[in-house]
């Protein structure tokens, strides 16, 4: 398994070490009524040591010194164990703490080795302590303590491993949810694009135009600026389809679409109204500028030749257009579209291939 050591875990170890450093001398004083000067000296040293690790663990990569830190912790806890060593074997619980600390620091893959090292530390310390203090220890007591240390190591290893697996499962689930959410966002964007786009020309459709028109009207009101609308109709397009066929009509629609795009600005909104009709929304544009733009488009379309498929024939088409401007022609978006449509039909009734405006 992966190494569990990181800054947060090392900080947790520092917090747990505070309990040992401050708690053990107090408990020993309550139990025996005295604390040796050596223990006080060692406690002061470890208070400084632990304070340094707690304060600067974010500035240093402590994982690089994990072996050194484990050796320091081992020496300190063995020292505590020797202070309590007697005929009953002292406090082997300090090795439980050491197993947990080293397991967190070095990872689950080394847990069996960590348990074995702690058993050897306990056994060697007990033997050396018994010789030094001339205490006879029961082999049965040593064996029982070793069994308990090993059992604790196995149990804590299982708990850590299960906790880590749950953490990995949670991270995998979060990753899957994030991926699903991203795919959903992409899907929603695609659906939104399909809902707002004409499949033949790739232009925005009338649904999108109505939403954009309302927004542009609001902006024009707020900033007191004009908004112009051009509505364009291809002249005699039904006759064109009847003569040359609908595939040729689709080619004509695509080519006039390119002409429209080449003659408007990036901020202008070009939409297919339906059939052979198109809408161009021109923000911050007055009637004169919009009329000039529409006339430029009309001339470009008139001069363009459309090559018919499977033949050498080329055909020219013309357009008619109506121009209206907010606020001089209309008070709202619906009225602006209606006025533009009215002047378009005026242009068609006057002979087509014309751009017309209300004034």
* Separation in Å, CA 85 to CA 72, 129, 130, 258: 20, 7, 8, 93
- Token output for 195: 């809902």
pLDDT of res. 111: 85
Q: Which of 87, 276, 302, 342 is catalytic?
A: 276
* CATH 3.30.70.270 domain residues, the chain: 206-357
Domain 206-357: assigned CATH number: 3.30.70.270
The residues near 157 (Cβ < 8 Å, ≥ 6 apart) are 103, 108, 111, 112, 115
pLDDT in tens, the chain (359 residues): 445 445 677 777 888 888 888 888 888 787 777 778 888 888 888 888 888 887 776 666 666 778 888 888 889 888 888 887 776 667 888 888 888 888 888 877 788 888 999 899 988 888 888 887 777 777 888 888 889 988 988 888 888 888 878 888 898 999 899 998 999 888 888 787 777 888 899 899 999 999 999 999 999 999 999 999 999 999 999 999 988 888 899 999 999 999 999 999 999 999 999 889 999 999 999 999 999 999 999 999 999 998 887 777 788 999 999 999 999 999 999 999 999 999 999 999 999 999 998 76
Report yes or no on whether pTM surpasses 0.85.
Answer: no
135, burial (CB in 10 Å: exposed 0-12, middle 13-18, buried 19+): middle
- Catalytic residue list contains 276: yes
Determine the length of the chain. Answer: 359
Alpha-carbon Rg for the chain, nearest whole angstrom, is 42
Per 3-state DSSP, what percentage of the chain is helix, strand, and coil (rounded to 5)? 65, 10, 20
pLDDT given for residue 334 in this prediction: 93
What is the distance between the alpha carbons of residues 218 and 32, in angstroms, rounded to a whole number?
84
DSSP 8-state assignment for residue 109: G
Q: The tokens of 6 are what?
A: 């990181």
């Amino acid at each position: 398994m992966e190494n569990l050591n990181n800054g947060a875990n090392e900080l947790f170890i520092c917090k747990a070490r505070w309990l040992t450093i401050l708690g053990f001398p107090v408990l020993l004083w309550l139990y025996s009524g005295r604390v040796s000067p050596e223990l006080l000296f060692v406690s002061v040293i470890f208070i400084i040591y632990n304070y340094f690790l707690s304060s600067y663990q974010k500035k240093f990569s402590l994982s690089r010194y994990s072996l050194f830190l484990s050796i320091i912790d081992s020496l300190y806890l063995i020292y505590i164990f020797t202070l309590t060593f007697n005929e009953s074997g002292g406090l082997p619980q300090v090795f439980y703490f050491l197993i947990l600390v080293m397991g967190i620091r070095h990872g689950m893959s080394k847990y069996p080795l960590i348990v074995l090292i702690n058993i050897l530390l306990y056994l060697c310390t007990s033997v050396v302590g018994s010789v030094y203090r001339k205490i006879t220890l029961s082999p049965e007591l040593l064996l029982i303590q070793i069994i308990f240390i090993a059992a604790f190591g196995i149990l804590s290893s299982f708990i850590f491993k299960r906790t880590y697996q749950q953490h990995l499962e949670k991270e995998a689930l979060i990753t899957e949810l994030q991926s699903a959410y991203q795919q959903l966002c992409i899907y929603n964007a695609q659906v939104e694009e399909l809902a707002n786009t004409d499949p033949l020309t790739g232009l925005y459709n009338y649904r999108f135009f109505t939403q954009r028109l309302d927004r542009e009207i609001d902006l024009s009101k707020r900033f007191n600026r004009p908004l112009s609308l051009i509505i364009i109709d291809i002249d005699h397009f039904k006759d064109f389809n009847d003569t040359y066929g609908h595939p040729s009509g689709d080619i004509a629609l695509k080519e006039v679409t390119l002409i429209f795009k080449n003659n408007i600005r990036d901020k202008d909104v070009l939409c297919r109204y339906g059939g052979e009709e198109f809408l161009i929304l021109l923000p911050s544009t007055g009637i004169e500028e919009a009329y000039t733009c529409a006339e430029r488009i009309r001339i470009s379309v008139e001069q363009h030749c459309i090559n018919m498929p499977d033949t050498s024939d080329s055909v020219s088409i013309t357009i008619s257009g109506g121009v209206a401007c907010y606020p001089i022609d209309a008070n709202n978006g619906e009225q602006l579209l209606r006025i533009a449509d009215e002047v378009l039909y005026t242009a068609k009734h006057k002979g087509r291939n014309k751009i017309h405006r209300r004034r």
